[in-house]
Structure formats: structure tokens, C-alpha cells
């Protein structure tokens, strides 16, 4: 069961050290848009001086009104105005009115500029996140801890722009506080000491609960990902059929209700503690304010201060208290959000292990001898079982090689090693006599066309679904149509209302969904978009009937001339066309040969072939 509350809190040193994230955060905002950043700073600086200015003008208005009362100004407004006694008061009122209009205008301008800057920063950070994610190893994405970190980083990309507003807002508040403090210091310096002492407990309490809140959210990352997964499974096009047929809605709803209620209870308990202690500690600040208010009132009664002074000092102290509370609470929140920035920046610090060497070689064109697996061993992170072990064989240039074996034999893992999605833990893989690690990784993958059994269904146009096979030539309609004919997807696309421009998939309103077999033909056409020397089909025809699969493999055989090709299929009738067949078992090559040779050997291949053939009799 997930923890209802974090068992331990971050100490002050850890919270304060998170502030190191603020300078790079501000630098990123600056680089996002220098004009917008300068604009929001300038607007806030001007706006920062308006509160003290308006309060002081208010003091002058009150003092002027008191003076006019003492001077015996006529009660008739017309007569008073004609006498000229109201001119100074009128000017003060006009100035305050202009300041009020200016304050509102500046507030709206700040909101407008911040919205634009926030949007640009969020987009830039999202792009950076995707760019960095693209550099990471496949093994990283299969690690649950990294998935949690990626989920937190993705959340921070969208959620940290409130931090920008807080930082700039606090800078504005600091300027306003300095202006108010200068006014108070001129009358009663000790009031500032009283105010600071009264507010410190509230600041410490706010910092404490912000840290607890971060710890809670951090520890609940796996459960929050699970909640998001259940929410999607309970209401998505992909899962709708099985949810209805198997009545899974009750299961998903109950699982979601249980998990979300646990998170709610943990949050409620923390929020309750925060509200209680926050109210208690804030009362100290209120007490400090009224002590100061009583002191100012007494000095006014004694005649030390005018009525305008009383209004100005009481207003200044009240606003200063509010600003300091806001500033201290804001500082605590900034420190808390800086902790969240750790999640974002720590993700950017993850570096891939599978990278090109500085002196990497281009892939030979053409490939002359082919690939050699020398005693290759590989196991997935955190798994004691070897997926492949002591695997040795050759894949000759221009050869069509079929891989067969039961589930878990290591066929797909072998293909991933060939494309350098993984590196072997033992042994090595050679290409034309050189270690695969010696070649430029981008060039290697550009020379390999792969369609996996769990291929992607992109909710894009039919042309784009094929064009992504060669992103640099994605807008070349001639090549896309040629690839569609090779993959036998042209008939599928011909039946779509908008042809190649038709969005496929049900995610968007105008989309048209395809059957599993039709999607697979689109995916196969995608592989033919690549001008690859090595073609790999990993169970890409599972949704096709036997005749359609045979036609696909016949076409594949024809189009694989002068190319090295690997195909994986559980249908033995299809792999018969391969030049050579490898039988894998427990991550090793158990047998190798043509279909006829393997049938004559009478081993696992012959047994599996007969079992499958019996199903058609």
C-alpha cells in the first residue's frame, strides 16, 4: 500500500540547496525571449512604486481635507469651488485617480506579457524534453524509476511557469517593501523589528509544510502514473471493446476509486495539519499588527502624528505586513518549486550509454560480408535470466535469414541488438569485420529498416504514416506512393475518402480507423520508405490471413534482392522462402539450415512445423 504520508521530511539545508535551480531557470527564461523578459521586469518595477505613492497621496488628501474643515470652507460646493480653496484637493484626487488607472493598466500588461512568455517557455522546455528523451537508450525507457522521473519532468514542464510569475512578483514586492519600510523607518524604526519577529514563525511553518507536500508528491509518483493509466484504460478508444465485452469498467473504476481515495486521504491529512498550524502561526503576525496600530493611534492622540499620518502609517504597516507575509510564503513556495525543478533538471542530466564514438565510421556502402555475432550475451536490466547467451552465427550480405523459435527464445532481442538499440553484455557483433560500436549510430540505424510486431499506429494522414519511415523525405509523395505499392498498402489507401491525405485512427474527429491487417500494411510500407541496406520484419503480419501474409513475404523476397534481410514469423509456411533459417531456443542457436535441411534433421523445427501443419489438415 502506498504511504499515506511521507515518513521523513527534507531538512532546511536540502530545501535551501534546491535554490541552486533558480539561476539556470531564470537563464532559460531570459533565452526564451529577451524582449518579453525585459518588458515584464520593466512593467513590474514601475508598478512596484505605485502602492506607496498612492498611499502617500491618500495621506495628503486626508490632511488637506482636515485643513479645509479647520479653515471653514463654505458648505456650498459651487461657492467653495469658486473660491479656489478646493483646487489643491482636486489635483490630489486627480493624481490618485490617474495612479489607479495606471495600476490597473500595468497589471493587465504584466498578465499579457507573462502569458506570452509562459507559453513560449513551456513550448521550448517541452521541445527540449522531447529532444533529450530521443537521445536516451531504449533500456532507459524500460526502467520504472526513469519512467517515474520522466513523468515528474513532464509535469514540471507544464507546471513550473507559475514559478516565473512568483519570482518576478516577489522581485516587485521587494521593491514595494523597501519603499514602505523607508516610510515607516522615518516615523518609528522599531515597528520593523516587531513586524519581522511576528512573521518568522509563519514563514518557518510554511516552509515545513511545503517540503512535506513535495515529499508526498514525489513518493506517490508511481501511484499517480497508475491512476493516469487506469483513467486512460477506463475511457479510451483502444480499450473500449474489451472494457465492454469483459465488463472491465467496474474493475477499473474500483481500482481508481481505491487508489485515488488513498491519495486523497494522504493529502487531506497534510492539508488539515497545514491549515491548523498556519492559522495559529499567522495569528502572531496579526497580533504584531495591532500592537503597532495601537502605538500609532496613541501617538496620533498625543498630537505627534496628523490624521493623514495615522492613515498613512496604519496603511503602510498593514500593506507591509501583507507583503512580507506574501514574500516569506512566496520564498517558501519558491524553495518548494525549486525542489520540483530538481525533477526536471535531473532528467536532463541522464546521459545515454549507447552513443557514437568521436571517430565513428560510416556504414559501408554496400555492406560486403555482413554481420557476425561472436559469443553474444545479453540480459535486461534487473533480470537475472539471460535473454541471449553464447549466441554465435553469421548473417551474410544479401542473405534472407529467417528466425524461428517459441516465445521468449530471444528473436526480438537479437533484432534490437542488430539495430544497436542495446549493446551486448558479453561478446560482440561485427559488421564487415568491425565492431558494431565503431560505426556512427545514426548512420547504422538509417541503413536498417525495421517493423516490429508492436509497430506504432500514428494518428496522422496515411501519407505521413508512411513518410515517417524516412523523415528527411517525408514530403516526397512519389516515394510514399512507391513504398505503399511495395507494402501492398496502396489498395488500403485507395479506399480511404481522402486517399493519402486521410487522417487514420479514431483519436481525431475526421479520422478513419483501419483494421489490424490494414494497419500492418501501412507499417510495412513505412519500412520500404527507408533506403536501407538491411530490412527486418519482426512478426509484422500477425493480423493478416495466411494468403495475405504469403503475398507480403513473396513481395518482401522480391524486393530484398541485393539487400540483407531478416524476417521473424510463427508461420512456418512463410519462412520457407528464406535462404537460411535459424532456430533459436533459450537465447541460443539450436539449429541452422534451409527448410528442407531442418526437416531432414528432425529437431525442434520439424516438430513445430508438423504441429502447425496438423492444424490445417
Check whether 106 has a pLDDT greater than 50: yes
- By CB atoms closer than 10 A (0-12, 13-18, 19+), residue 127 is exposed
Most confident of the ranges 340-354, 373-387, 535-549: 373-387
Secondary structure of 476-496 in HEC code, one letter for each residue: CHHHHHHHHHHCCCHHHHHCC
Q: Give dist(CA 108, CA 127) in Å, integer.
A: 29
Pairing of strands 388-396, 580-585: unpaired
More confident site: 355 or 192: 355
For residue 1, name the pLDDT band (cuts at 50, 70, 90).
Answer: very low
Q: What mean pLDDT do residues 228-239 have?
A: 64
Domain map of the chain by residue range?
12-349, 355-447+532-617, 458-526
Q: With a cut of 60, say whether residue 615 has pLDDT above it.
A: no
**What pLDDT sits at residue 6?**
40
pLDDT of 46 > 50? The answer is yes
Q: What's the Rg (C-alpha) of the chain?
A: 36
Sheet containing strand 434-435, strands side by side: 388-396, 370-378, 426-431, 434-435
User: Which class for 106: exposed (0-12), middle (13-18), buried (19 or more C-beta within 10 A)?
Assistant: middle
CA 456, CA 444: separation in Å to the nearest integer? 21
Give pLDDT, residue 426: 92
Whether the per-residue pLDDT at 339 is higher than 60: the answer is: yes
Q: CB-based contacts of 47: which residues, under 8 Å, 6+ apart?
A: 103, 106, 107, 110, 172
- Helix (H), strand (E) at residue 135: helix 87-135
Average pLDDT over residues 561-586: 81
Element (H, E) at 449: strand 448-451
pLDDT in the model for residue 600: 87
Task: Give residues with Cβ within 8 angstroms of 403, minimum separation 6.
Answer: 411, 414, 415, 566, 567, 568, 581, 582, 584
Tell me the pairing of strands 388-396 and 434-435: unpaired
Q: Could you tell me the fold of the domain covering 355-447+532-617?
A: Rossmann fold (3.40.50)
pLDDT value of residue 437: 92
pLDDT-based confidence at 170, cuts 50/70/90? confident
Looking at domain 458-526, which CATH architecture does it have? 3-Layer(aba) Sandwich (3.40)
More confident residue, 152 or 565: 565
The mean pLDDT value of the chain amounts to 78
Instruction: Point out the least confidently predicted range of 7-16, 171-180, 234-243.
Output: 7-16
The share of the chain scoring above pLDDT 70, in percent, equals 74
Highest mean predicted confidence (pLDDT) among 26-40, 57-71, 120-134: 26-40
In angstroms, the CA 193 to CA 171 distance is 22
More confident residue, 14 or 406: 406
pLDDT at residue 8 in the model: 41
pLDDT of amino acid 109: 93
What is the model's pLDDT at position 3?
A: 39
The CATH code of the domain at 12-349 is 1.20.1560.10
Q: Quote the pLDDT of residue 105.
A: 92
Residue 7 has pLDDT above 60, yes or no: no
Q: Quick check: 30 pLDDT over 70?
A: yes
Contact 22, 99 (CB under 8 A): no
pLDDT at residue 245 tops 80: no
pLDDT at residue 240 in the model: 58
Residue 587 has pLDDT above 90, yes or no: no
DSSP characters over 252-296: HHHHHHHHHHHHHHHHHHHHHHHHHHHHHHHHHHHHHHHHHHHHH
In 269-379, the DSSP E strands lie at 370-378
The string of pLDDT tens digits covering residues 267-310 is 777 777 777 776 766 676 677 667 777 777 777 777 777 777 77
Given a cut of 60, whether residue 617 has pLDDT beyond it is: no
Contacts of 170-174 spanning 24+ positions with Cβ under 8 A = 170/327, 170/330, 170/331, 170/334, 171/41, 171/44, 172/44, 172/45, 172/47, 172/48, 173/48, 173/323, 173/326, 173/327, 173/330, 174/327
- φ and ψ at 429, to 5 degrees? -120, 130
Beta pairing, strands 564-568 & 534-538: parallel
Do the domains at 12-349 and 458-526 have one common CATH topology?
A: no
Contact 464, 552 (CB under 8 A): no
Residue 376: what pLDDT? Answer: 92
Q: What is the dihedral of CA 444, 449, 455, 457, to 10 degrees?
A: 100
Tell me how far the alpha carbon of residue 549 is from its chain's centroid: 39
Task: Tell me which residue of 14, 58, 325 sits closest to 170, measured CA to CA.
Answer: 325
Q: 139 and 96 in contact (C-beta within 8 Å)?
A: no
State the residue for C-alpha cell 514586492.
173
Task: Determine the Cα angle at 134 with ends 130 and 138, to 5°.
Answer: 130
Q: Would you call 567 exposed, middle or buried from its count of C-beta atoms within 10 A (0-12, 13-18, 19+)?
A: buried
Sheet holding 448-451, edge to edge: 448-451, 534-538, 564-568, 400-404, 580-585, 588-593
Residue 562 is placed in which grid cell?
Answer: 541485393
- Candidates 559, 560, 518, 558; CA nearest to 540 is 518
Taking residues 32-44, what's their average pLDDT?
91
The answer on pLDDT for 48 being more than 80 is: yes
Amino acid at each position: 500500500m502506498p504511504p499515506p504520508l511521507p515518513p521523513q521530511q527534507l531538512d532546511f539545508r536540502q530545501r535551501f540547496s534546491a535554490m541552486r535551480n533558480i539561476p539556470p531557470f531564470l537563464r532559460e527564461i531570459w533565452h526564451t525571449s529577451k524582449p518579453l523578459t525585459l518588458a515584464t521586469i520593466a512593467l513590474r518595477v514601475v508598478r512596484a512604486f505605485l502602492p506607496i505613492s498612492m498611499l502617500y497621496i491618500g495621506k495628503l488628501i486626508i490632511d488637506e481635507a482636515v485643513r479645509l474643515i479647520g479653515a471653514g470652507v463654505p458648505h456650498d460646493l459651487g461657492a467653495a469651488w469658486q473660491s479656489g480653496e478646493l483646487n489643491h484637493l482636486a489635483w490630489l484626487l486627480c493624481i490618485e485617480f490617474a495612479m489607479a488607472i495606471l495600476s490597473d493598466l500595468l497589471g493587465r500588461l504584466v498578465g499579457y506579457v507573462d502569458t506570452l512568455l509562459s507559453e513560449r517557455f513551456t513550448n521550448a522546455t517541452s521541445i527540449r524534453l522531447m529532444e533529450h528523451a530521443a537521445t536516451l537508450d531504449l533500456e532507459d525507457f524500460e526502467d520504472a524509476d526513469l519512467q517515474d522521473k520522466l513523468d515528474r519532468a513532464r509535469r514540471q514542464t507544464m507546471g513550473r511557469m507559475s514559478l516565473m510569475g512568483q519570482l518576478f512578483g516577489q522581485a516587485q514586492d521587494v521593491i514595494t517593501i523597501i519603499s514602505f519600510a523607508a516610510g515607516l523607518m522615518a516615523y518609528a524604526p522599531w515597528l520593523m523589528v516587531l513586524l519581522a519577529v511576528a512573521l518568522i514563525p509563519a514563514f518557518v511553518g510554511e516552509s515545513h509544510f511545503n517540503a512535506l507536500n513535495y515529499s508526498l508528491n514525489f513518493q506517490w509518483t508511481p501511484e499517480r502514473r497508475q491512476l493516469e493509466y487506469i483513467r486512460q484504460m477506463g475511457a479510451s478508444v483502444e480499450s473500449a471493446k474489451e472494457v465492454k465485452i469483459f465488463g472491465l469498467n467496474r474493475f477499473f473504476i474500483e481500482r481508481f476509486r481505491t487508489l485515488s481515495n488513498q491519495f486523497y486521504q494522504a493529502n487531506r491529512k497534510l492539508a488539515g495539519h497545514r491549515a491548523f498550524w498556519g492559522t495559529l502561526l499567522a495569528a502572531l503576525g496579526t497580533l504584531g499588527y495591532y500592537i503597532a496600530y495601537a502605538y500609532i493611534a496613541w501617538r496620533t492622540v498625543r498630537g505627534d502624528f496628523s490624521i493623514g499620518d495615522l492613515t498613512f502609517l496604519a496603511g503602510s504597516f498593514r500593506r507591509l505586513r501583507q507583503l512580507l507575509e506574501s514574500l516569506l510564503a512566496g520564498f517558501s513556495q519558491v524553495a518548494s518549486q525549486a525542489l520540483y525543478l530538481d525533477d526536471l533538471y535531473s532528467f536532463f542530466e541522464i546521459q545515454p550509454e549507447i552513443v557514437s564514438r568521436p571517430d565513428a565510421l560510416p556504414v559501408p556502402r554496400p555492406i560486403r560480408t555482413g554481420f557476425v555475432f561472436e559469443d553474444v550475451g545479453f540480459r535486461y536490466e534487473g533480470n537475472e535470466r539471460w535473454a541471449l547467451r553464447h549466441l554465435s552465427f553469421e548473417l551474410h550480405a544479401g542473405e534472407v535469414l529467417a528466425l524461428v523459435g517459441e516465445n521468449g527464445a530471444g528473436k526480438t532481442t537479437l533484432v534490437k541488438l542488430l539495430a544497436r538499440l542495446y549493446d551486448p553484455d558479453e561478446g560482440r557483433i561485427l559488421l564487415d569485420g568491425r565492431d558494431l560500436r565503431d560505426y556512427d549510430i545514426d548512420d547504422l540505424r538509417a541503413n536498417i529498416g525495421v517493423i516490429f510486431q508492436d509497430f506504432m499506429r500514428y494518428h496522422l494522414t496515411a501519407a505521413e504514416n508512411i513518410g515517417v519511415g524516412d523523415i528527411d523525405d517525408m514530403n516526397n509523395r512519389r516515394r510514399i506512393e512507391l513504398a505503399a505499392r511495395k507494402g501492398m498498402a496502396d489498395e488500403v489507401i485507395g479506399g480511404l475518402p481522402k486517399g493519402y491525405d486521410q487522417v487514420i485512427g479514431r483519436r481525431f474527429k475526421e479520422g478513419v480507423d483501419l483494421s489490424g491487417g490494414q494497419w500492418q500494411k501501412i507499417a510495412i510500407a513505412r519500412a520500404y520508405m527507408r533506403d536501407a541496406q538491411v530490412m527486418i520484419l519482426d512478426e509484422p503480419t500477425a493480423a493478416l490471413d495466411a494468403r495475405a501474409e504469403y503475398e507480403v513475404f513473396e513481395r518482401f523476397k522480391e524486393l530484398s534482392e541485393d539487400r540483407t534481410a531478416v524476417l521473424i514469423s510463427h508461420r512456418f509456411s512463410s519462412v520457407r522462402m528464406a535462404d537460411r533459417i535459424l532456430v533459436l531456443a533459450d537465447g541460443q542457436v539450436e539449429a541452422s539450415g534451409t527448410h528442407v535441411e531442418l526437416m531432414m534433421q528432425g529437431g525442434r523445427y520439424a516438430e513445430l512445423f508438423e504441429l502447425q501443419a496438423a492444424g490445417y489438415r
